[in-house]
Every structure is written in C-alpha cells, then in structure tokens.
C-alpha cells in the first residue's frame, strides 16, 4: 500500500484553482520533495494530505481519508508547518506534557533526550525562544513521535544556514529509518538535494515533473558547452539552455553522457536548474533565460 495516493485531486478557492487534477503516489520509505513557485499549490496539496482542507478527487493517506479521519490519522502523521506555528504562550515543559497526554505514540524520554542536546530552557515560553530554538523544539517534539509519515512545509523558513543544516542532519540521522515517509515542500532546494529520494514539481496546480532522484541522475545531464560547440550540442536536442559567464549550459534528457563529454563539462543537474528548465520552459518555450 502506498503511503499517499492521490488521483485527480482538485481544489478551488472561489474562482482560483489551487489544485487542478493532481496525481501523486508516494511509497512508504521515500523522502519526497515538492518544489514549485509561490502559489503553485504546494501548501494546498499538503493541507489536503493533512486533512486541513476539503478537496475534490481521491486521496488516501495511510489508507485513510484525511478529511473525514484527521483525528485518527494524526496518530500516524506528524507535521511541521513553519517555525511560527507553536503557540507563543506555551512553555517547553507544557508542550512535552501535552503531547505525552494526547499522543499515543509520543515517547517522552526521547523528547527529553533530544531537548537535553539543545540549550532550550525547560521553563521558557515559546515567545522567549529564538527562531532557531523554536525550530529545534518543534523538531524534537515531532521526532519523539513514532509516526509513519512526516510532512514538512517550509520547516526551515527564516532560519540561518547553521540551523538549517542541523535540522536536516538531525532528521536524517535520528529520525528517518526507511520505514517512515517524509514529504517536504521547500524553496531552499539546494540543501535538500542530497536528502531527497524523489522529486515533484508543482506549477499552477498541476504536477509537471515526478521522478525519483536515481531516475534524475541517470536521465538528465547538464553540460557546460565548450566555446564553439554550441551548434553541435544543439543538434543533440537539449531540453533547456541558458548562459553563464559567457558559456552555454544545456540540459539533456536521455542523452549519451560519453557523447556529451566531448562537447563540454558534464554533471548531474542541480534541482534549481532542473526546475528552471521544466517549469521555466513552460513560460518561455525558447528557454533561453540566463
């Protein structure tokens, strides 16, 4: 059974279509990154998965309908929206007590151990903590829950680079164990490149790209073309090209790497470049943005 199974997921706010027939299947044990421009429908899709918003179409999360069974589903699903959602009046000790009280899969000892690694004072209220500490607190609470699915929506928004690095390191070493599934929406694609196993691009309410990272590595090649070889490279049918420091960088899908190596420096594309190629090309079919 897939962890998340969506078919023809639709959601409109008045006349604005936020989700326009999204099909998505996430197997257990995967770490999926959802990337898209602002307003593309990422948060709406996550909200539907979490039972925070009604939707049209079919959606099952861990075999349940999230809209009608949110209360039960949340025993197996954890969620971090962004650092601003922990109630500001809540004390650290109260947060631990409350989760221990309401959550059947919360391990208080684990939460205490994770918090002991930080400098967060136990008696402090959330409003007295720095942004980084709030993120650490939320992560400690979530990691102490033995959930099957963790959903993260811009969890590191506004954090400095050290905290962001620490956040994902902690998540991967102390939490992820291949039986859990993580779904992550973020703009900071460069720091999750090595974290993800799967990648989805959402644009204007539709899934425009859905590949595993292995697939991306084997299919896509980015080449910085040596001067004078642009014509020969173009003949091989790049899906996208851009200019950088006066040189042309082309992205190829299903191309022979050895053949490309003769034309320039070959590498696996970064998520950001792939994103510009896939999503950007729909706006500018020529794809010549630099």
Partner 1 sequence: MTTSSNAVLEPAVRDAREAAPAALSPTRPLYWSVRRELWENRSIYLAPLGVAVFVVVGLVIHGITMPSHLPSMLGRETGSLPSSAAMYRMMALLMMVTAFVVGTFYCVEALSGERRDRSILFWKSLPVSDLTTVLAKASIPLVVLPLVTFAAIVATQLSVLLLSAVALLVQGQGVAQFWNGLQLPTLWVKLPYALAAIALWHAPIYAFLLMVSGWARRTAALWAVLPLLAIGLFEKATMNTLRVASFVEYRLVGWYGAAFDVHAGEHTPFHPLTSLAPGRFLGTPGLWIGLAVAALFLAAAVRLRRYREPS
Contact 208, 279 (CB under 8 A): yes
Nearer to partner 1, 86 or 199 (CB): 86
Nearer to partner 1, 109 or 162 (CB): 109
Residue with tokens 């292995």: 214
| Token reading at 97 | 């007590």
Nearer to partner 1, 158 or 237 (CB): 158
The distance of closest approach from Cβ of residue 91 to partner 1 in the complex, given in angstroms and rounded to an integer, is: 7
Nearer to partner 1, 13 or 245 (CB): 13
Task: Considering only the C-alpha atoms of the chain, give the largest distance between any 2 of them, rounded to a whole number of Å.
Answer: 68
Please provide the size of the chain in residues.
290
The distance of closest approach from Cβ of residue 248 to partner 1 in the complex, given in angstroms and rounded to an integer, is: 44
Contact 5, 60 (CB under 8 A): yes
The distance of closest approach from Cβ of residue 83 to partner 1 in the complex, given in angstroms and rounded to an integer, is: 11
The distance of closest approach from Cβ of residue 105 to partner 1 in the complex, given in angstroms and rounded to an integer, is: 6
CA gap 34, 139 in Å, rounded: 20
Sign, Cα dihedral of 30, 31, 37, 43: positive
Chain residues binding partner 1 by CB under 8 A are 47, 50-54, 70-75, 77-81, 84-91, 94, 97-99, 101-105, 138
The distance of closest approach from Cβ of residue 118 to partner 1 in the complex, given in angstroms and rounded to an integer, is: 19
Nearer to partner 1, 157 or 208 (CB): 157
DSSP element (H, E) containing 251: strand 247-253
């Amino acid at each position: 059974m897939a962890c998340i199974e969506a078919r023809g997921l639709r959601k409109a706010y008045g006349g604005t279509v936020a989700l326009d027939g999204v099909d998505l299947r996430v197997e257990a044990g995967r770490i999926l990154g959802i990337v898209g421009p602002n307003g593309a429908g990422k948060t709406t899709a996550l909200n539907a998965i979490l039972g925070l918003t009604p939707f049209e179409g079919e959606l099952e999360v861990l075999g349940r309908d999230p809209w009608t069974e949110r209360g039960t589903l949340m025993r197996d699903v954890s969620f971090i929206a962004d650092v601003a959602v922990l109630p500001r009046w809540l004390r650290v000790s109260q947060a631990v007590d409350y989760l221990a009280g309401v959550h059947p899969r919360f391990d208080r000892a684990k939460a205490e151990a994770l918090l002991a690694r930080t400098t967060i004072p136990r008696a402090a209220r959330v409003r007295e903590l720095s942004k980084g500490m709030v993120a650490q607190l939320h992560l400690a609470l979530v990691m102490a829950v033995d959930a099957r699915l963790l959903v993260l929506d811009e969890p590191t928004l506004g954090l400095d680079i050290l905290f962001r690095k620490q956040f994902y390191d902690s998540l991967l070493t102390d939490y992820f164990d291949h039986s859990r599934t993580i779904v992550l929406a973020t703009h900071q694609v460069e720091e999750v490149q090595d974290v993800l196993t799967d990648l989805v691009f959402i644009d204007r309410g539709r899934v425009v790209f859905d590949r595993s990272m292995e697939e991306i590595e084997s299919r896509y090649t980015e080449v910085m073309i040596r001067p004078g070889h642009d014509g020969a490279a173009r003949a091989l049918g790049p899906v996208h090209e851009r200019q950088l420091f006066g040189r042309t960088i082309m992205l190829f899908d299903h191309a022979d790497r050895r053949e490309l190596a003769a034309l320039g420096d070959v590498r696996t594309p970064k998520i950001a470049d792939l994103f510009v190629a896939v999503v950007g090309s729909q706006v500018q079919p020529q794809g010549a943005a630099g």
